[in-house]
Structure formats: structure tokens, C-alpha cells
Amino acid sequence: MENQNVYERPVTLKNILKFAVPTIAMTVFMSFYTMVDGLFVSNLIGTNALSAINLTAPIIQLVTAVSTMLATGGSAVIMRKMGEQKVDEAREDFTFLILVNVIVGIFMCAVGYLSMNRIFAGMNLSPEVEGYCVAYLSRYLVFTVPILLMNNFTLYMIASEKATLSLLCSVTGGVLNMVFDYVFIAGFDMGISGAAIATGLGYSVTAVVGMFVFSKKKSLLHFKKPAFRLKVLTNAATNGCSEMATALVTGIITMMFNWTMLHYVGEDGVAAVTIIMYVLMFASSLYTGYSYGVAPMISYYYGEQNHEKLKKLVAVSMRVIAEISLVSVAASFLLTKPLVSVFARPDNPVYDLAVTGNRICTIALLFIGFNIFASGMFTALSNGVVSAVLAFSRSFVFMLITMITLPLIFGVNGVWLATPAAELLALALSAVMFLKNRKRYGY
């Protein structure tokens, strides 16, 4: 089988990067065009509108959390079956999980519309910012199903050795997003609603292409008459629960950041948080892309019980992540002012807040990569429990502790210190879990 030859190649840095580089480029580009949304909104509408995008982010993350769980967990389950030579069964499960995502998307879209007005009304926002929030989210939710399909098809394209196609879809969607941002906001004067529609259309590219790609039987994974297997759904949910937990608690922590900054600084503080989150997201996408790229290899080698290849893959991955960490920290420090100035001019009070915050938060980039890889590795090994413990502790428990304590001691700077402190604690836990399970999996 063609795909067998791919997974049977020697585990070298060159062969690993053939898998990982397209997914790194894809995730970096996806984060880049999220930043472009903020760029157009902040410059063409204002920093209050930028604050609104961040205030809607937790709801969007809640809407997509279940899909993220099924996509990452489902990919691990399906690729493990591929390694076990259960090809037809894997394809049936793939189709079944895609149908589940469509149903989830429709349900979450309805819940979002029913609840958003009450949520924003309870935040004590200015009428202008509240109006921006409602306008943005109401348009974004229209694209819920395509966005959930995009989350799934992105990972399944990677697993089917179509990472380059996935990258091409992301680039095309990103370019469309940028073009539509300008056309809808500047040309048609649609304001923040235009930004939401542009984002939805950009994300929809992968969903549309994926429907065509996976309809063809020559694809390693393709649609087949689905078989309802509750165990498959349970295993996908269990394996991917760490990624769902990350999405859920990221939304909760984002709300905490917003509320804390509203308390200390006001809506300018929320805009500063948004800028820093863009920078961290852009850097973190390097690690996320690498982890997504090697996850199918980890799952396949585990299913094949090839401990030699698994051990080498993990060892090389650690070196790659360490090198990315050093480069990303240096780049973030050096480029802080240019990056912030893209979103806010130096005479804007948001500028100084964001510059200080980014320089402090950049320290977290030393640890984030190892934490992301550790959680992703255990998901790929079908150990959703350990992956969930790592993700939940990192994204919620440690962030909650640092977000409550450090601002009380350091004020606004404590808000910025919370992220690197939480990531350092998470790194210690990741190291413990990594060493504890080493003999069990043979890496």
C-alpha cells in the first residue's frame, strides 16, 4: 500500500520534517491570518473592536471544543487501526466521526445564538464594545459547521499524507480572508461583521476541498458507509479529551484575563491582551504544527509496536522543539515593538501595555513547546487520560493559580507573569509523566 511505504521509511530528521514542515507552515499561516483579522479590525475600525474580538473568543472556543476533541482523538484511533491493518474499519469510523461533527456543529450553533446576548449583557461593557461583540459573533456562528469540518479535515489530510494539500487550503483560505477583510470592512463598510464573514469564508476552504478529497476512493482515508460504534466514539472522546479540555479552559482563562484587565486597566487592557495572545499564538503554532505532523507517525508506530522507530522519533522531536524554542524566544524579544506597532500606534495607551506584557510573556515560549508535544504525544499513544491531565493542569489548574495570586502581588505585571509561571509548572508535570510512562510505551 502506498501509505505503508511512507510510514516504513527510516526515522531521520529529513523524513520527519517531510511530515512536519507542511503542518508547521499550515498552523503558522492559520495563526497568521487570525492576526490579520486583528490587524484590519484595529486599524480600520479601532482598538475597541479589537477588544470585542477577544471578548467573543471564549464563546468561539467553547463552540469548537467538541470538534477539536473528536478530530484529534479520532485521528489517533483511526491511524492506530491503519497500523493494525484494519483499513476498512478505520474508514467506516472516519465517516461516522465526520457525521457526528456535523450534528455537533448544528447543535453548538443553536446554543451560541440562544446564549450570546445574555453573556455580553452580564459583562458590564460599554454599549459600543457590546455591540461589536454581538455583531461579530452572530456572523461567525453562521459558519460553525464548515469550521468544525475544517478542524477535522486538516488533521485527516495530514494522516492521509496530504499535508501539502492541507497547507495549500490554509494558504488559499488565508489569502481569501485577507482580501475579504479589506473588501468587506474598507470597501463595503460592513465593519466588524465583515471581519467575521471574511474569517468564516476563509475557514470554509478546507471544508469544501475536504469533502471532494475524501469522496474519492483513491485517498487513503475516504468516505464509506458508516458503522455506528459507540466504542469508537468513546475512544475518540477519551483520547481527544485533553484537546477539548485545552479549548474549554483556554476560553475560561481568556475570560479571566479579560475580567482582570478590565478591573486593572479597562478596555485598553483587553486590547493589549489580544495583541499579546496573537503573538503567543503565532509562536505556539510552530509547536502545534510539529506535534500535529508527527502524531500520525507516533500512532502508527505504536500500533505496529515498532519501539525502535518510536524511541528515535521522540528523541529527534525533543531536539527540534528545543531549537524552535530558543529561536522563537529571541525573535519575540527582538521584534516586540514592531509587532505591537502593527496593531496599535505608539501614542495609543494600548501600545505601552502590550510592549511590556509581550516581553514578560515571551519567557513562556521556552516551555510551551515541550508541554504541547507531551500532551499531543500521549494523545497519539491513545492515552487520553495522561494527555488530559497534562492539558488540563497546564491550561487551567496552573493558570488559575498564577492568575489569582500573581496580580495580587505584582499588579498588572502579575497578569503577564501568569503565563510563563503556569507553563513552567506544566513543564515539571510533563517531565514526570514522560519519565513515568517511558518503559510502558518504549519511547
DSSP state string for 278-343: HHHHHHHHHHHHHHHHHHHHHHHHHHHT-HHHHHHHHHHHHHHHHHHHHHHHHHHHHTHHHHHHHH
* Residue 103 parent element (H or E): helix 87-121
- Please report which confidence band the pLDDT of residue 2 belongs to, taking 50, 70 and 90 as the band edges: very low
pLDDT tops 70 at residue 322: yes
pLDDT tops 70 at residue 5: no
**Measured between alpha carbons, how far is residue 295 from residues 240, 290, 438 in Å?**
12, 9, 17
pLDDT (0 to 100) of residue 274? 78
Dig out the grid coordinates for 36 from the structure.
Answer: 490579520
pLDDT tops 50 at residue 3: no
**Measured between alpha carbons, how far is residue 352 from residues 276, 349, 357, 359 in Å?**
12, 6, 8, 11
Q: Hey, how many other C-beta atoms are within 10 angstroms of the C-beta on 263?
A: 12
Tallying the residues shown for the chain, one arrives at 443
pLDDT (0 to 100) of residue 6? 64
Q: How far is CA 295 from the centre of its chain?
A: 15
Higher model confidence: residue 194 or residue 249? 194
What percent of the chain has a predicted confidence (pLDDT) above 70?
A: 96
Residue 156 CA to residue 363 CA, distance in Å, equals 33
Residue pLDDT, tens place only, 67-76: 778 887 888 7
Higher model confidence: residue 97 or residue 79? 97
pLDDT (0 to 100) of residue 392? 82
Residue 408 CA to residue 195 CA, distance in Å, equals 36
Residue pLDDT, tens place only, 360-391: 999 999 999 999 999 989 988 888 789 888 98
Q: What is the largest CA-CA distance in the chain?
A: 62
pLDDT (0 to 100) of residue 326? 93
Q: Is 316 in contact with 11 (CB distance < 8 Å)? A: yes
pLDDT (0 to 100) of residue 425? 97
Please tell me the pTM assigned to this model. Answer: 0.69
Average pLDDT, the chain: 85
- Please report which confidence band the pLDDT of residue 319 belongs to, taking 50, 70 and 90 as the band edges: very high
